Structure 1
Amino acid sequence: MISIPRKTTQEVDWTTPIRNLIAQSYGENPDNYGAECASLQRCRQDAVRGAGSDLTARDLLYKYFGQLELLELRFSEIRVNFPWHDAFTNKLITQTSIAYEKASVLFQIASTHSAIAASQSRSDPEGLKRAFYYFKACAGMLTYINENFLHAPSTDLSREVVKFLINIILAQATEVFFEKCTDEKKSNALVSKIASQAASMYTSLTEEVKEFMGKGIFDRNWVTLLQIKAKYFSSLSQYYRGLADNTSGKHGDALVRFTQAETLAKDAYRTASSFGAMFVSNMSPNLPPDAGTSISERLKAHQVICIDKKAEATRENDLIYNAILPAFESLPNIEKTAVATPVHIHEIYGTPEVQKTIGQDIFIREACAWRGGES
């Protein structure tokens, strides 16, 4: 699974602009609010420096973004220098609007969600459930960026790049759901539709990524992995539909689908085995260290299953059914079933756990003081 790289940043001085604003706009002594300024400063440092675990990093980012939302309501006119390095080009871009800081922090949250999802053990049902949720939560954060921050100053926040990342993340969520359905032994007809959906999403991504080629934005290993998965899930959809056709007595259709599944599996395995041989993990920090060997082994096992199934179906057709084999092109297309939708940011921030993580407004005391002064 692919996770999204994180942005990096430099120190930010929140204290001076807030002190100036308090003195100029509210006629208060800014020295009275030293503790609050220090608390906000620390809140940002904790959030952007990262933490021991991805879950801790997630909570620190949740808290800082929540405080930014509250701060923006109170100091909408404030200007602070926010320096962020682009996650893909590493170019330093500094802007003074809170909107830029918020979009950058949301990108960090999305990146952290993707890392949590990608690191789950999917051989465990709970791990599958967590991976599915966090991929969808990641897609939700990215969708919110695209809907609310329209003038992207950096490549990583541009509409095209964010849209591409959303599509990768939702394809991976669909893949996780496919694994859940096979683990739970759902019907072959349903599994084939979900595989067909994943195949369609990965195939679209292999087309979309061509727009970015030559620009040096995305890791080339991502591109190869997307190509392998497009063929792999195309093969899986034909294989499971073949099993369903066999069960319903369409033995000729099933054999043709098994033949197609085998062809696609061999093609995918060829690409996966060369990918596995050439993969160097430190060149692709957003892929697992064993990405090369694991995808190659998975495709090898799938190829064996397809070869065996086609051979078995051929024998049975020769000896028992003598079904006429239709042309593959004449078989009905396999329907697709969409299973992964983004989790909206309001759904995440509306939970009591996240509200507790954010805590009360750091500048709550000032709000009371200023309201008292106005009355």
Structure 2
Amino acid sequence: MPSPVTLADVASSAGVSSQTVSRVLNNHPSVRPGTRQRVMAAVTALGYEPNLAARSLASGSSGTVGILLAASLSHGMSEIFAALARAVHDHGSEFILATADGTDPASVTAALAHLRGYRVGSIVVLAQRTDVLAVLSTQRDQDRIIVVISGQHAFASLRTVGIDQALGERLATQHVLDQGRRRLLHITGDLAWQDATERLSAYQAVCAEAGVPGRWIGTDAWTGETGARVARRLLESGLPDAILAANDDIALGVCHELLAAGVRVPDDVAVVGFDDIPQARWSTPSLSTVIQDFDMLGRQALALTAEALDGGSPESMTLTPELVVRDSSRP
């Protein structure tokens, strides 16, 4: 196996010093255009790949952002991760990714240590459970950690950014109540997730305020099959006149089974989802849902990294969701 090309090899090929090669690779303004062109030609010809990890360690610190994925890649988390990656790229920075099991404190701690080994300037944690926050709140460098998580929490020492899940569910529930529907049902996602518990609590609160039963069915997944399975049970036991699903996949599964059984949506049963996945607007009927601006969430998370590096006080930022009414619940 051939030895990797070194910085010294590039310097020898280009007829310059190793320090000059380093300046070229770091875009130092003092390098003459002709020298820069000669060095880059040698880099290309030799296939040199700089050791970015070693460079970060040598500098003692870096503007690189660490991203810790302590959650499964659901639609929302994958969108947030993509938005964060785009924001880092647009900012001219780079990121290093680590993963952890959000249910295992030791896994989260090990992943944080891995990112610190690269001397990252800040760490953005994508989480779905408040268990992760408990681990993060004990870290010595928690002032450099930004957490993307939904819902309320009691960890004032952490910088967090999220979308107001309770408001989104309130908007959806009030929407069907305003149509005079009174036999409501909420289908939860996995209640181990902060998103699911926040949405369920908000639904129950709105129902209590309206004086109607806040009936709900708990599930352990967020899939279309989960929604279809609940719908089959409802066809046997009796249908509500409105279903508030904890996400769009569940809602689409519900719609599929109800329509196949001859139930009219929304005439007999109105259905509202949560998230606005791409299929929501193209389904038949098109799905009413709560829109979450995941792109803005990713960009705000990156903005908080700058505040963390500046030493500002920890703060929580909450974005506002929006209800979009489509055919599945249109009055």
TM-score (norm 2): 0.29
**Higher-strand-fraction structure:** 2
Higher helix proportion (structure 1 or 2): 1
